[in-house]
């Protein structure tokens, strides 16, 4: 085997060829089939090259991704806008204590709900004068908070229940049965006599006609159909419509849901507020208020960009190009893994399809790519929806336009997927932490504790669900926190986190509450959670005691390479190229006057330099080889010792 040492920082091995191992890392095997010091050196250099090949583009991608998230989320201004709308609609009493208008969350009956419609809604959304009584200009009529116009007016929709008569059995047979009117089933979108009636002169409309969807309130699910009244942005007309609905008994015992839909536009923030303010009237009695606000940017791609918009378009375009690059990389790796080993490129990461599937980071990459493509599809669909709705607003300025579907797609689908992308993008950073055992110790600890963690989770699940069901049975009828098994388990999780209100359950059932609380906190909080911590501590100590986690050889090579003092070995070249030597020429030292040359790209013609430079390098290279040989011998001795212990245990 011949070798030529050229400089202090690069080693040229003529008889070593790169071969791929099962993990996708390049090994070097000499012609005699024996691994030598040059083989290990070349393997480390190849790992360094692979690291920089994927890590540098990913760092640029992370920077652009953070910029996009920062530009896309302006939550602080949004918060103050929502707070102003919330205070005006739900907390105020129309500025007149004598008006006896209750805040929205305290409405107890139909009469108070009508007072709220006539007071807070009309004064806030259909204001026609200033606070001092001066009339508003015609251009400012219909502006919420005097700055946010209402698009297309308001829509008041009611969902009513069908009327069914059944007999209520009595305990005594002589009394017989008493007819009872039951109002419990809301109108569906099916064909039937109930869906053709009118109420207060308003015809029932189906879900398809209204462009709505099934909606989930606090009490139950409701269809997107119902009886609809559109309220224009005129104070006199709106007050007249609300008064007529009140006189004809718009709400009665069959009413189950009242929804007020509206869309505000804030020109300062350039966002739309799609608001849905509802009041549920359950069959059990009472009123259950709720509301949903969705802030969406519908003009993002529908007008000429200016200022920061150009920067945002540039960042999104660059992110799309990076995702295309990542997709091409994955396709190339799959294509190479499906080829026969004899026809594969020396730089192929995986030699077989099984190796590609075994690397679970590939599944993370594909999940990230699929989520990105879904986000792009949802965004394109939302832009087309918004374009059609805004065109409808331009044609019919006074007609109500339902922005709820497009707002739902943006808030509950697109933003949720973007949040998952944020997590997966940062989670992928652990892939590059593998160059250092100290950085990858978290993943190694989770892997070591996997079996014990699975057994613990199995036991903890039954204990936790048992306490959740017990709390739901005893306290579910009186406390909303235990009203369902799901809510009960969420409340118990809050107890584990340290947030609990013991007195709320104590006054319901003093003896059972004490036993329930003490047993849960003792068994789950003090015992099981400490067992979980002990499992992770034991796994962590096991990983730390492993010999493979005692050095950061690859990380040291990367940091050295970053300083320009290392050699990057490309998989298709037999020699090494120093980054420092190719980027910044070096001045050779020796007898006579030196000159600047690239140590790898030109021949050594410096006077006085020659064998002296090679001779100075030999001691350091020999020391490295001796160290590697010693490590290899100790490793073989350790393997022999382990084999002997296994054989001894088998014999016993």
Residue-range domain boundaries for the chain: 75-268, 446-549, 619-652
- Which segment of 190-199, 205-214, 236-245 scores lowest on mean pLDDT? 190-199
Q: How confident is residue 493, by pLDDT bands cut at 50, 70 and 90?
A: very high
CA neighbor of 24 nearest in space, from 262, 354, 295: 354
Asked whether the predicted pLDDT for residue 288 surpasses 80, the reply is yes
- What pLDDT score was predicted for residue 399? 80
Fold of the 446-549 domain:
Helix Hairpins (1.10.287)
Q: Which of 14-18, 54-58, 139-143 has the highest mean pLDDT?
A: 54-58
CA neighbor of 565 nearest in space, from 578, 577, 554: 578
Do residues 137 and 101 make contact, with C-beta atoms less than 8 angstroms apart? Answer: no
Q: How confident is residue 216, by pLDDT bands cut at 50, 70 and 90?
A: confident
- What pLDDT score was predicted for residue 308? 62
Do residues 97 and 119 make contact, with C-beta atoms less than 8 angstroms apart? Answer: no
Helix H, strand E, coil C: the string for 70-122 is: HHHCCHHHHHHHHHHHHHHHHHCCCCCHHHCCCCHHHCCCHHHHHHHHHHHHH
Q: What is the mean pLDDT of residues 318-341?
A: 86
Asked whether the predicted pLDDT for residue 498 surpasses 80, the reply is yes
Q: What is the mean pLDDT of residues 579-602?
A: 43
- What pLDDT score was predicted for residue 569? 43
Asked whether the predicted pLDDT for residue 514 surpasses 90, the reply is yes
Asked whether the predicted pLDDT for residue 404 surpasses 50, the reply is yes
Q: Could you report the per-residue pLDDT of 436-478, keeping only the tens digit for each?
A: 667 778 878 888 898 999 999 999 999 999 999 999 999 998 8
d(C-alpha 119, C-alpha 137), whole Å? 21
Q: What is the mean pLDDT of residues 14-39?
A: 41
- Which segment of 39-53, 330-344, 511-525, 631-645 scores lowest on mean pLDDT? 39-53
Query: What is the SS3 assignment for 260?
Result: strand
Asked whether the predicted pLDDT for residue 494 surpasses 60, the reply is yes
Q: How confident is residue 558, by pLDDT bands cut at 50, 70 and 90?
A: low
Alpha-carbon distance values, 517 to 337, 459, 471, 475, 509 (Å): 57, 19, 10, 12, 11
Enter the pTM of the model.
0.68
d(C-alpha 514, C-alpha 502), whole Å? 9
CA neighbor of 552 nearest in space, from 463, 445, 399, 440: 440
Q: What is the mean pLDDT of residues 543-572?
A: 54
With tokens 């014999």, the residue in question is 651
- What pLDDT score was predicted for residue 270? 83
With tokens 């509206």, the residue in question is 262
- What pLDDT score was predicted for residue 166? 47
- What pLDDT score was predicted for residue 629? 74
- What pLDDT score was predicted for residue 15? 31
CA neighbor of 572 nearest in space, from 342, 348, 350: 348
What does the block give as tokens for 384? 């087309």
Asked whether the predicted pLDDT for residue 108 surpasses 50, the reply is yes
- Which segment of 24-38, 41-55, 170-184 scores lowest on mean pLDDT? 24-38
With tokens 């796994």, the residue in question is 539
- What pLDDT score was predicted for residue 616? 45
What percent of the chain lies above the pLDDT cut of 70?
67
- What pLDDT score was predicted for residue 607? 43
Bridge-based pairing state of the strands 596-597 and 576-578: unpaired
Asked whether the predicted pLDDT for residue 254 surpasses 70, the reply is yes
d(C-alpha 68, C-alpha 58), whole Å? 15
d(C-alpha 273, C-alpha 149), whole Å? 10
Do residues 102 and 294 make contact, with C-beta atoms less than 8 angstroms apart? Answer: no
Q: How confident is residue 613, by pLDDT bands cut at 50, 70 and 90?
A: very low
Q: How confident is residue 11, by pLDDT bands cut at 50, 70 and 90?
A: very low
CA neighbor of 392 nearest in space, from 568, 152, 126, 41: 152
Q: How confident is residue 533, by pLDDT bands cut at 50, 70 and 90?
A: very high
- What pLDDT score was predicted for residue 157? 92
- What pLDDT score was predicted for residue 620? 54
Q: How many residues does this entry show for the chain?
A: 652
Contacts of 500 (CB under 8 A, 6+ apart): 494, 517
Residue 332 exposure: Cα atoms within 13 Å on the Cβ side: 10
Q: Which of 5-14, 154-163, 175-184 has the highest mean pLDDT?
A: 154-163
- What pLDDT score was predicted for residue 638? 77
Q: Could you report the per-residue pLDDT of 332-391, keeping only the tens digit for each?
A: 888 888 877 766 666 566 667 888 888 888 898 899 999 999 999 999 999 999 888 888
What percent of the chain lies above the pLDDT cut of 90?
19
Asked whether the predicted pLDDT for residue 115 surpasses 50, the reply is yes
Q: Could you report the per-residue pLDDT of 54-107, keeping only the tens digit for each?
A: 778 888 888 888 888 877 666 778 888 888 888 878 876 554 544 556 778 888
- Which segment of 84-98, 595-609, 638-652 scores lowest on mean pLDDT? 595-609
Angle (nearest 5°) at CA 361 between 358 and 364: 120
């Amino acid at each position: 085997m011949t070798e030529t040492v050229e400089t202090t920082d690069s080693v040229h091995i003529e008889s070593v060829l790169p071969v791929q191992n099962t993990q996708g890392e390049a090994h070097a095997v000499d012609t005699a089939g024996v691994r030598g010091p040059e083989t290990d050196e070349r393997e480390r250099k190849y790992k360094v090259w692979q690291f920089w090949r994927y890590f540098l583009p990913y760092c640029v991608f992370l920077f652009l991704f953070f910029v996009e998230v920062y530009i896309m989320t302006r939550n602080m201004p949004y918060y103050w806008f929502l707070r102003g709308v919330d205070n005006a609609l739900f907390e105020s009493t129309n500025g007149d204590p004598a008006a006896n208008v209750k805040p929205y969350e305290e409405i107890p009956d139909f009469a108070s709900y009508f007072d709220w419609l006539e007071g807070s809604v009309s004064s806030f959304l259909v204001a026609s004068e200033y606070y001092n009584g001066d009339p508003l200009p015609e251009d400012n009529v219909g502006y919420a908070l005097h700055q946010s116009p209402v698009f297309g007016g308001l829509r008041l929709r009611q969902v009513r229940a069908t009327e069914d008569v059944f007999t209520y059995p009595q305990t005594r047979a002589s009394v017989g049965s008493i007819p009872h009117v039951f109002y419990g089933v809301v109108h569906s979108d099916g064909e039937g006599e109930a869906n053709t009636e009118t109420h207060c002169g308003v015809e029932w409309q189906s879900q398809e006609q209204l462009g709505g969807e099934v909606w989930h309130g606090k009490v139950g699910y409701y269809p997107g159909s119902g009886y609809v009244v559109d309220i224009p942005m005129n104070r006199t007309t709106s007050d007249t419509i609300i008064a007529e609905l009140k006189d004809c008994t718009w709400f009665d015992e069959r009413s189950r849901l009242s929804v007020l839909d509206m869309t505000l536009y804030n020109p300062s923030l350039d966002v739309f507020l799609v608001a849905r303010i509802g009041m549920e009237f359950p069959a059990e009695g009472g009123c259950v208020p709720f509301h949903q606000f969705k802030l969406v940017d519908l003009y993002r791609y529908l007008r000429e960009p200016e200022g920061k918009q150009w920067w945002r378009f540039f960042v999104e375009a660059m992110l799309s190009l990076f995702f295309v690059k990542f997709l091409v990389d994955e396709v190339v790796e799959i294509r190479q893994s499906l080829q026969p080993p004899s026809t594969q490129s020396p730089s192929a990461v995986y030699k077989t399809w099984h190796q590609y599937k075994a690397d679970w980071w590939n599944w993370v990459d594909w999940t990230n790519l699929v989520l990105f493509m879904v986000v792009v599809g949802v965004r394109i669909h939302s832009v087309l929806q918004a374009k059609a709705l805004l065109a409808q607003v331009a044609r019919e300025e006074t007609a109500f336009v339902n922005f709820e579907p497009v707002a739902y797609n943006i808030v509950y689908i697109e933003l949720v997927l973007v949040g998952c992308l944020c997590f997966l993008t940062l989670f992928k950073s652990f892939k590059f932490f593998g160059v250092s055992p100290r950085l990858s110790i978290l993943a190694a600890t989770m892997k070591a504790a996997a079996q014990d963690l699975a057994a613990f989770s199995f036991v903890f699940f039954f204990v936790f669900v048992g306490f959740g069901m017990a709390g739901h049975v005893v306290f579910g009828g009186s406390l909303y926190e235990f009203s369902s098994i799901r809510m009960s388990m969420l409340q118990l999780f809050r107890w584990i986190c340290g947030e609990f209100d013991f007195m709320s359950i104590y006054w319901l059932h003093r003896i059972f509450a004490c036993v329930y609380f003490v047993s849960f906190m003792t068994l789950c909080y003090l015992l099981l959670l400490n067992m979980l911590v002990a499992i992770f501590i034991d796994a962590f100590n096991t990983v730390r005691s492993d010999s493979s986690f005692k050095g950061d050889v690859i990380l040291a090579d990367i940091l050295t390479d970053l300083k320009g003092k290392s050699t990057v070995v490309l998989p298709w070249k037999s020699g090494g190229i120093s980054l420092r030597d190719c980027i910044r020429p070096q001045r050779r030292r020796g007898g006579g006057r030196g000159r600047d040359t690239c140590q790898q790209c030109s021949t050594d013609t410096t006077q006085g330099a020659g064998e002296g430079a090679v001779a100075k390098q030999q001691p350091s290279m020999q020391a490295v080889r001796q160290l590697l040989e010693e490590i290899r011998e100790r490793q073989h001795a350790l393997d022999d010792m382990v084999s002997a212990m296994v054989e001894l245990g088998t014999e016993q």
